[in-house]
Amino acid sequence: MLERSLVLSAPGKAILHGEHAVVYGKVALAVALDLRTFLRLRPAGGSVSLRLPSLGAAASWERSRLQALRSGFSADFDESKSPSVEQLNTLREFAGITAESSAPESLATLAFLYMCLAISAKYGWTEEELSLINSWAFQGERVIHGNPSGVDNAVGTWGGALRYQSGKITSLKRVPTLRILLTNTKVPRSTKVLVADVKDKILKFPAIMNPVLDSINAISQECQSVLEAMPGNPSPEYYPVLEELFDINQHHLNVIGVGHPSLDRLCRVTASHGLHSKLTGAGGGGCGITLLRPDTSPLAVEAAKRDLCACGFECWETNIGAPGVTLHSSSALKAEVLHALSMS
């Protein structure tokens, strides 16, 4: 039982380099974004309540009902194993979620219920144990995505930047904090379809496409070398290299077929302000990232944001290399965060 309120946060995530090539055993670099999701936990007496304002989800369950539900499972909860079909079906029925529902609010509620029962049954709150947090966050990913890579939960737990290759995740050491713009084109896309299209192109033109994947791999490795060198020698000479890597990788991603006119427009708009951009993630729309040098003028940044918004895009200025999961003092939180938490 909690005796006081706790406020925690975790960063967002973006892929810096290695999109799609990572499916074929190449290196990908994932970075933590300082656009954070906040969680408030507070005592609730004899019930457990969930409020997710951004998803429009709200639910409450009597603690006695949850305890009865927990004791009814024949198999134990285990952070090293995927949630069983039996467990998920039972939780869906308990929460009134249909088997066909894949709405974000339904999946988030399902993941919350699973981890609430599992963690309270075994550990209680141990936010200092990062490896344990990561293990249970991965279980939440399994509930929502089925067979996740483990990158999202690892970035959220440890922050900074991670190297991912063939299932192995390694934290980069001494990663610099870099300013970026994150832009959402608002163009929906299917990651599954895009991955399948890339596979078809590779099968059709292996002699052409495989060298492109090798080049994307080399970009990821070169970027890793630059990022790890920057903290010890914060020279402005590194930024033109990072910008060129953005440009080259964006061309490669267009070659493998995951570009989109909206992303081309994003790159043109930012280029008109002397900035360099690339898609991040699956492509085909979705989001792009724009690197901001330390000496980029505030006027140029605001002009770029204004022009991107005029295209119908959403744009945020943020940092990459942000801290991982963090326990906060309420007195240190920004006013807008406190306001959002008070509304939940």
Q: Report angle CA 6, 170, 323 to the nearest 5 degrees.
A: 30
For residues 306-335, b (16+ Cβ closer than 10 Å) or e, as one string?
Answer: ebbeeeebebebbbbbbebbeebeeeebee
Q: What is the 3-state secondary structure (H, E, C) of 147-194?
A: CCCCHHHHHHHHECEEEEECCEEEECCCCCCEEEEEEECCCCCCHHHH
Are 264 and 285 in contact by the 8 Å Cβ rule? The answer is: no
Catalytic residues: 120, 152
* Amino acid letter, 322: A
- Contact status, residue 175 vs residue 161, Cβ threshold 8 Å: yes
Q: Are 246 and 194 spatial neighbours (Cβ–Cβ below 8 Å)?
A: no
Q: Collect all residues with Cβ–Cβ distance below 8 Å to 229 and sequence separation of at least 6.
A: 238
Look at residues 183, 159, 176, 182 and name the one whose alpha carbon lies nearest to residue 294.
176
Burial 86-109 (b: 16+ CB within 10 A, else e): ebbeebbebeebeeeeeeebbbbb
Contact 11, 277 (CB under 8 A): no
Asked whether the beta carbons of 323 and 11 are under 8 A apart, the reply is yes
**Assigned token pair, 143:** 């509930």
